[in-house]
Structure 1
Amino acid sequence: MPRRTATLLASTLTLIALLCVALLAPTPYSEMSPGPTVNTLGDYGSDTVIQISGHKTYPADGHLNMTTVRVTGADYTMNLVEAFMGWVRHDDKVVEHDTLYPQGQTAQQADQQNAEEFSQSQDSAKVAALDELHIPVTSRVIVAAVVKGGASEGVLHAGDVIKAVDGSPVNKAEDVAPLVTKHKPGQRVTFTVVRAADAKNKQAPTQQVTVVTRTSNDQGPKRAVVGIQAGVEHTFPFTIDIKLADVGGPSAGMMFALGIIDKLTPGNLTGGQFVAGTGTIDDSGKVGPIGGISLKTIGARDKGAKYFLTPADNCEEAAKDIPHGLTLVKVSTLNDAMSALTDIRTGHTSALPSCAKG
């Protein structure tokens, strides 16, 4: 074989081998892209997103859209070509796999976590919305989970209402841990509880339950633990259901709260404007940051949004690349969002607090 032909053949085979490596070699990356943008005032699929019964509601026009990010699955392996194409595309973002799925988290574990966070965000959205409208909500501290094999297994049960620890009243979930860690491992802690089976009975008697503490085995400082997770259970004065399939995580909390408020009050919060947004929310109405903000603003703009309610802690990142025609509005609380909607509704948009580059 002539040398020239052999050289050409070798080069071709090398190129083919490199292409095969690029197509088959796994990379430690995942991809994020804009996901569905859903109007909390409307329908999604066959369901109305926010359904309220037992209280007067009002028609709500306009858009209060929650936004999402689509991500590759925990078990998906991205090859080098896909990673390169993701880096090139403006509307996608390539990130390290461990950023989305830390510590080898499986797809099932990720789905479970997202479902739990989504459920909690709905609960907090309801509480914050009703508080904004001065509608009372009853809350109580419960045993949210019992650690398998822990000190409380078989003694305390998920759903038990915690009234006191060692006689000290418990008013919020955060009260429980400090009362337990006052003890040394091996000491006894007495819980005053109403059993889960009796929790709906306002006249149910309390019980004294004793748990022997153990030494913590996590990465934090050694301390006394009883192997439970305390949580809060709310009792609402009427029924609020949020129906949104195939969506997880906590980032729609603020937009759910605004949608609930709009449906419970006459008139339209948006004045018919297309408003989108994102942000976690807690029971007090504080709005927290989320991931993938730049992808969510792109998704909102592509759907037709003119204004985007942006968590204050995401403002600097979001302002680096603002989609054309979209105004970023900085919010720290649900009340901030309500004030911004008033400005949008009345046309006083020059007063809107905007996101600026750092």
Structure 2
Amino acid sequence: MNRRILTLLAALVPVLVLGLAGSVFTVPFVALGPGPTFNTLGEVDGKQVVDVQGAEVDPTTGNLNMTTVSVRDRLNIFEAFGFWVSGEHGLVPRAEVYPPGVPREEIDRSNQQEFENSEASAEVAALHFLNLPTVVLIGEVGEDGPANGVLRPGDEIISIDGTPISAPKDVVDAVSARKPGDVLSLVVRREAAEQTLSVTLGARPDDAAKGYLGITPTEGARPPLRVTFNLADIGGPSAGLMFSLALIDKLSPGELDNGRFVAGTGTIDQAGAVGPIGGIQYKMMAAKDEGAETFLVPAANCAEARQRTPEGLRLVKVETLTGAVQSLADIGAGRETPSCG
């Protein structure tokens, strides 16, 4: 083998090793970027994203899009570098998204539970805004709680020991006033039929002198009104604001979006307070790419949003559901709105 071939091989070996390492070995980072957006006034897989039954629905046009962040995991060196130079993605330590020692399935379940909780909060916040009646429902039943096997998620609690229940706090007060070992009589509505059920109370984990039922009471629409959210494989709580706005739009006259393309993000609680989320810059990119003109930004995310605002996208600062509705009305009337600028 002559010297020229040896020199060529000596030069190629490091390149081949580097190429093999770059395509095989993964990095301890994930890439965050713009994810899909969904029009909460529209359909997904033939179903309304926010489906309303048992009430007259006002016609809607335009868009009220919820936004998401994509997460790309198990990146090799070349993939990570490509995302880093793209300008539309960012690399963050994998441990920030997938904590070490926590099974991936557990993280996914937690994200899904947060999403379902945000749906429930969005429904109640919208009903309160519209001054529509609600009922007290069982949100969760603890696996080790006294009520397990007797009460079910979705049961409507009508009364406890003969006392009418009109708010979740009524349930807490009724149970806390009793002692462990007391038998509680509950009238619930399950599948449109009333039932009287009995539960022997246990001891509350944080105060053994007080009774413990082992349920999480929440609120929901009073029948015949029924609200169903039809988005699957989405995690986290950040769709709450847009779900609430869609429900208000469908149950009230006029159009919140003025027939235009509005997108946004933000958590929401049952009182209508809008909270911050993660990945605001990627959500704004996704919204702009889809054609959004206006983006609703939680007030706590405004400073971050200002740093990378897509050109031509109007940012509207939002602190409450009432404020968001008012801002959309102001846009339609050509008035100034709270801005992140």
- Whether these two folds match at TM > 0.5 is yes
Q: Show structure 1 runs of 5+ residues with no match.
A: 217-223
The residue that corresponds to 2:119 in the other structure is: 122
Change (3 A) 1:188 1:130: closer
What is the aligned counterpart of 1:112 among 106, 109, 112? 109
1:245 maps onto 2:232 in alignment: yes
Structure 1 residue 49, shift from structure 2 partner: 2.1
Structure 1 residue 151, shift from structure 2 partner: 6.6
For residues 320 and 17 of structure 2, the distance between their equivalents in structure 1, rounded to whole angstroms, comes to 55
Amino acid in the other structure paired with 2:322: N
Moved more, 36-45 or 187-196: 187-196
1:210 maps onto 2:204 in alignment: no
Amino acid in the other structure paired with 2:119: Q
For residues 88 and 236 of structure 2, the distance between their equivalents in structure 1, rounded to whole angstroms, comes to 21
For residues 118 and 243 of structure 1, the distance between their equivalents in structure 2, rounded to whole angstroms, comes to 12
Amino acid in the other structure paired with 2:83: G
What is the aligned counterpart of 1:194 among 186, 190, 200? 186
The residue that corresponds to 2:251 in the other structure is: 264
1:353 maps onto 2:330 in alignment: no
After superposition, give the CA deviation of every residue in 1:154-201 in whole Å (9 maximum; x if it has no partner): 68755486978xx9x995479859x98x9xxxx947574527787966
Change (3 A) 1:261 1:336: same
Change (3 A) 1:226 1:300: same
Moved more, 98-107 or 86-95: 98-107
The residue that corresponds to 2:216 in the other structure is: 230
After superposition, give the CA deviation of every residue in 1:275-321 in whole Å (9 maximum; x if it has no partner): 11011111111111112111100011111111100111111111110
Structure 1 residue 212, shift from structure 2 partner: 4.5
Contact 2:41–2:49 (CA under 8 A) maintained in structure 1: yes
After superposition, give the CA deviation of every residue in 1:236-256 in whole Å (9 maximum; x if it has no partner): 341222222333322111111
The residue that corresponds to 1:221 in the other structure is: none
Q: What's the secondary structure of 1:36's corresponding residue?
A: strand
The residue that corresponds to 1:17 in the other structure is: 17
For residues 93 and 282 of structure 1, the distance between their equivalents in structure 2, rounded to whole angstroms, comes to 29
TM-score w.r.t. the length of structure 1 is 0.79
Over the aligned positions, Cα root-mean-square deviation in angstroms equals 3.7
What is the aligned counterpart of 1:101 among 73, 98, 119? 98
Amino acid in the other structure paired with 2:274: V
Moved more, 127-136 or 104-113: 104-113
What is the aligned counterpart of 2:306 among 298, 313, 319? 319
Q: What's the secondary structure of 1:247's corresponding residue?
A: coil
For residues 83 and 306 of structure 2, the distance between their equivalents in structure 1, rounded to whole angstroms, comes to 21
Q: Show structure 2 runs of 5+ residues with no match.
A: none
For residues 267 and 48 of structure 2, the distance between their equivalents in structure 1, rounded to whole angstroms, comes to 21
What is the aligned counterpart of 1:132 among 129, 132, 138? 129
The residue that corresponds to 1:220 in the other structure is: none
Q: What's the secondary structure of 2:242's corresponding residue?
A: helix
Structure 1 residue 105, shift from structure 2 partner: 3.9
Structure 1 residue 269, shift from structure 2 partner: 1.4
For residues 250 and 143 of structure 1, the distance between their equivalents in structure 2, rounded to whole angstroms, comes to 16
Aligned residues: 335
For residues 205 and 48 of structure 1, the distance between their equivalents in structure 2, rounded to whole angstroms, comes to 35
Amino acid in the other structure paired with 2:28: P
1:144 maps onto 2:140 in alignment: yes
For residues 59 and 166 of structure 2, the distance between their equivalents in structure 1, rounded to whole angstroms, comes to 41
Moved more, 21-30 or 235-244: 235-244
1:330 maps onto 2:321 in alignment: no
Change (3 A) 1:3 1:37: same
Amino acid in the other structure paired with 2:27: T
Structure 1 residue 214, shift from structure 2 partner: 6.2
1:54 maps onto 2:54 in alignment: yes
Identity across matched positions, percent: 37
For residues 354 and 196 of structure 1, the distance between their equivalents in structure 2, rounded to whole angstroms, comes to 46
Q: What's the secondary structure of 1:102's corresponding residue?
A: coil
Amino acid in the other structure paired with 2:118: S
Structure 1 residue 324, shift from structure 2 partner: 0.4
Change (3 A) 1:109 1:346: same
TM-score w.r.t. the length of structure 2 is 0.83
